[in-house]
Structure 1
């Protein structure tokens, strides 16, 4: 007698200590990607070149995953223009975040990027979603206070030139990166739910790659495709591409076993890792007051994440 085929069951999650350790390791790889990018930029590498290499390696990894999993390449009707929009928004986010990393300390750029939950909540509310609760609004306010401290706004007001000419632009680029990514996440959730995550990620990376190549060919970003002028710069380019591709691919493959609902806040290890790596590799330091502000920001982000999951 033939037996019915077994139903598909989700893979068993990793033990929580292993899942947390893995996610902290991935967050460190993402931070290493940004620190490596700063090394490359300091050696004269162009912003567009860095993104082309990073997205190119990630695209190859995702394409291999699509082939291995035998995923269909067919897109549901009506999703094409939304997927293109997401890809362009992620391209803008990548360019803005690397532009911030090139101008201000890496950890500050990542803390600005971590305003993403606030911006996404406000965007969702503006587009018809639920209004943030009073507790969430209070936590958002605390996070903003922490950002004022970590950005040392009083020092800016007293002596703007002491912070360097790149700081205002770096802060603007960091906030713009979070805004672009918030838009991409909103579209993904509300307009692309029918599109498989593997294909969506591949198309997004492919769009970023093509957009950066076109921008470089048209010369839209001066020096965007410039080559690094030293061996450390080349090493930075190679490492940023490898760190991002390995972290992104590993996270994508392991997501079903990481119990993200419980463990996602561990990814906030990234700014902490960036602080340590930025000190060890780049000699970037923050004052004790700025460190306290960063701790406030991270605590607020963790609280928001844990509260949402609860």
Structure 2
């Protein structure tokens, strides 16, 4: 029988893989980058409302009222999507996804000081390996994709800060609310903000074809399953471990970018992806060892 921790890790891994679809769907929406984020939220809202409106006997809890942490999560997520979606258009899928997932550097340091989640030495080694693998995936790209690779890389790199803020705000919100309630309010509060950004930038708001609409709807489903899974896991796992495990996302996205758009995966990128996966395994093992050591230290002496 799986322990709650193993279940949380399994959900997190699935959620990270689902989120790997995001850069592919953004390019297929046929809208502006920020508008793609708006439709992601718009199609997600009915699903989130349906989940939270279920009878209490089926696990429903109602919408409730938003906390300040939920509002902060919405703000950070709007900044995250706005910068990242432009990065996806301007650079390669691999670069955009890898650079934005340098979030663990920020999350680990903040969680260490704010949440007192002090990492083990092996975890720091795993983090270094993950970042080295992520850098290899970025540096090893052939540079031929995107409309403005250098600016796209810069936008994607800034997302690491915004996503870290979102990550930590959700972590704090999960102390008093369920994952779906946090998702409902962070999405609902962010919806008009993304619409305002897309209108201010004069973007194309509506897809031109049914395929574009399908991509928008797919983003909504991906948002609920992917971000919902991450929010759920954040209530059960250390923030630093969750952030490193999410680094599987760029590996999935890079593979999909090669398959769907023909973006070349160079040998260096392939090695970098393997290093990231190895680092995730080491991080999980390190966290498990730490939990076992803490349990042994707190056991009564006979």
Specify if TM > 0.5.
Answer: yes
Residue from 59, 79, 87 that aligns with 1:92: 79
Task: Give the distance between the partners of 1:153 and 1:29, measured in 2 at CA.
Answer: 24
Inter-CA distance 298–155: structure 2 relative to 1 (3 Å threshold): same
Aligned-partner Cα distance in 2 for 1:110–1:296: 16
1:35 maps to 24
1:20-51 CA deviation, whole Å, 9 max, x = no partner?
A: 5x7665544332232121223xx4x1122211
Equivalent position of 1:209 in the other structure:
191
Query: Which residues of 2 match residues 42-191 of structure 1 at below 5 A?
Result: 43=30, 45-68=31-54, 69-75=59-65, 80-125=67-112, 127=114, 129=116, 132-152=119-139, 166-190=148-172
- Counterpart of 1:102 in 2: which secondary structure? helix
Structure 1 or 2, whichever has the larger Rg, is 1
Change (3 A) 1:241 1:295: same
- Partners in 2 of 1:133 and 1:25 — Cα distance? 25
Q: What is the distance in 2 between the residues matched to 1:126 and 1:53?
A: 36
Structure 1: stretches of 5+ with no match in the other structure: 1-10, 157-161
Q: Larger relative CO (CA 8 A, sep 6+): 1 or 2? A: 1
TM-score (norm 1): 0.72
Matches within 5 A, 1:213-232: 213-217=195-199, 219=200, 221-223=201-203, 225-229=204-208, 232=211
Distance 2:142 2:231 in 1: 44
How far the C-alpha of 1:277 sits from its partner, in A, is 2.1
d(CA) in 1 for partners of 2:183, 2:141: 41
CA contact (8 A) 1:83 1:192 kept: no
Mapped pair 1:274 → 2:263:
no
Q: Per-residue displacement from partner, 1:153-176 (whole Å, max 9, x unpaired)?
A: 7988xxxxx777622222222222
Cα RMSD, aligned residues only: 3.9
Q: Which runs of 5+ in 2 are unaligned?
A: 290-302
CA distance in 1, matches of 2:246, 2:160: 16
In structure 1, distance between residues paired with 2:231 and 2:171: 20
Deviation at 1:254, TM superposition (A): 8.8
State the 1:308 CA deviation.
Answer: 2.1
